[in-house]
């Protein structure tokens, strides 16, 4: 069976608050747990008024405390923003609080624009080798192998499940070389998906962590009782994406009927390309498109994501997606 997981950007809706977004995140994770999701991830983003997960480790603790069995983690921590020791301490603490349930996905993008990145780090690292070296340093702190000369407390001996994230071949090559599981961000950057998965599987080197390749890919799901209702729900994320790409990030807006058509043929084509790894529709359509995506990619796990303005509608979408994944497994 292909596992299924949930990525939550912890959206702040128009007219809402950060406190409300964080309360919804905990409720959504509990709901995902009841629907059989393998894991729940939040992502590190900064300087965005519509995303409440900037303090990623804090949000993970909040969500993990509200759930019992689902794995909770970062998809991901943007490691260039942080000293590896800091992340070792944060995730060592999380692992001590919630043993056997914490994931640590690592990315090399800043999760922000250059201005915010500079404010985060004070200097901008340009060394192409910095990210792989930071991953090795972080692994050393968890292993407590003495290579750094520093004992991370907490951190030494901690065992979060480490992943490499990416939307290009670089992450695939690194995950393969280090023998780590790999997650591809096809939910917003689909172009290199098939090639990256091929590279990862072809070049994978078994490690103490992982004996064989394990790949996950992001997939947007906007599900409702009817195709028309799902199309309406999807318009909130479509609006937010267009706003972000045009340099005007905003809180998640309410849905607008006919939004995609209002963009014109060229704008709609751009949106359809970027969000091509998506299913928008009723239960049968969602199940069919998830099945096709799994057949195409042969991924071990699908990371389902979507930002929907109405919280209850989002919970229903997540439940329909879970039912669809179970139907796909039964058919297989």
40-75 residue pLDDT tens: 999 999 989 999 999 999 999 999 999 999 999 999
**Which tokens is 269 given?**
């084509």
* pLDDT tens readout for residues 222-251: 999 999 999 999 999 999 999 888 888 899
Q: Look up the CATH number of the domain holding residue 149.
A: 3.20.20.30
Q: How confident is the model at residue 77 (pLDDT cuts 50, 70, 90)?
A: very high
Contact 21, 52 (CB under 8 A): yes
- Summarize the confidence of residues 257-271 as an average pLDDT: 88
Average pLDDT of the residues in 174-185: 98
Mean pLDDT on 75-94: 95
Whole-model pTM: value is 0.95
The β-bridge partners of 301 are: 3, 216
- State residue 73's pLDDT score: 98
Mean pLDDT, rounded, of the chain:
94
pLDDT in the model for residue 123: 58
Q: What is the pLDDT of residue 47?
A: 87
Q: Is the pLDDT of residue 206 over 70?
A: yes
Beta-carbon contacts of residue 118 (< 8 Å; ≥ 6 apart): 124
Residue range(s) defining the domain that contains residue 278: 3-331
Lowest mean pLDDT among 13-27, 56-70, 255-269: 255-269
pLDDT confidence of 173, banded at 50, 70, 90? very high
For 169, half-sphere exposure in the C-beta direction (CA atoms, 13 angstrom radius) is 6
What confidence score (pLDDT) does residue 235 get? Answer: 97
> Does the structure show a pLDDT above 90 at 120?
no
Predicted pLDDT at 126: 52
Lookup: tokens for 204:
């994978």
Specify the number of domains making up the chain: 1
């Amino acid at each position: 069976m292909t596992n299924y997981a949930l990525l939550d950007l912890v959206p702040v809706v128009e007219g809402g608050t950060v406190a409300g977004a964080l309360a919804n995140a905990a409720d959504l994770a509990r709901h995902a747990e009841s629907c059989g999701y393998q894991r729940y991830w939040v992502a590190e983003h900064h300087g965005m008024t519509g995303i409440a997960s900037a303090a990623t480790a804090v949000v993970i603790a909040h969500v993990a405390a509200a759930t019992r069995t689902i794995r909770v983690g970062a998809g991901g921590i943007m490691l260039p923003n942080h000293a590896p020791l800091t992340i070792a301490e944060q995730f060592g603490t999380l692992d001590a609080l919630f043993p056997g349930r914490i994931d640590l996905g690592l990315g090399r993008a800043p999760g922000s624009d250059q201005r915010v990145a500079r404010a985060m780090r004070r200097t901008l690292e340009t060394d192409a080798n910095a990210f792989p070296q930071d991953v090795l340093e972080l692994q050393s702190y968890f292993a407590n192998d003495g290579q750094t000369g520093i004992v991370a407390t907490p951190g030494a001996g901690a065992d979060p499940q480490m992943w490499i994230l990416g939307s290009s071949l670089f992450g695939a090559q690194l995950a393969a070389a280090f023998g780590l599981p790999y997650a591809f961000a096809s939910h917003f950057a689909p172009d290199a998906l098939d090639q990256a998965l091929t590279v990862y599987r072809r070049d994978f080197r078994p490690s103490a962590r992982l004996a064989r390749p394990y790949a996950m890919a992001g997939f947007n799901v906007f599900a409702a009782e009817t195709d028309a209702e799902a199309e309406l729900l999807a318009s909130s994320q479509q609006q937010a994406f267009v706003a972000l790409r045009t340099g005007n990030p905003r809180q998640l807006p309410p849905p607008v009927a006919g939004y995609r058509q209002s963009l014109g043929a060229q704008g709609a084509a751009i949106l359809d390309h970027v969000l091509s790894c998506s299913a928008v529709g009723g239960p049968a359509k969602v199940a069919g498109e998830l099945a096709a995506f799994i057949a195409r990619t042969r991924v071990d796990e699908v990371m389902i994501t979507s930002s929907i303005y109405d919280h209850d509608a989002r919970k229903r979408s997540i439940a329909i997606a879970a039912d669809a994944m179970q139907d796909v497994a039964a058919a297989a």
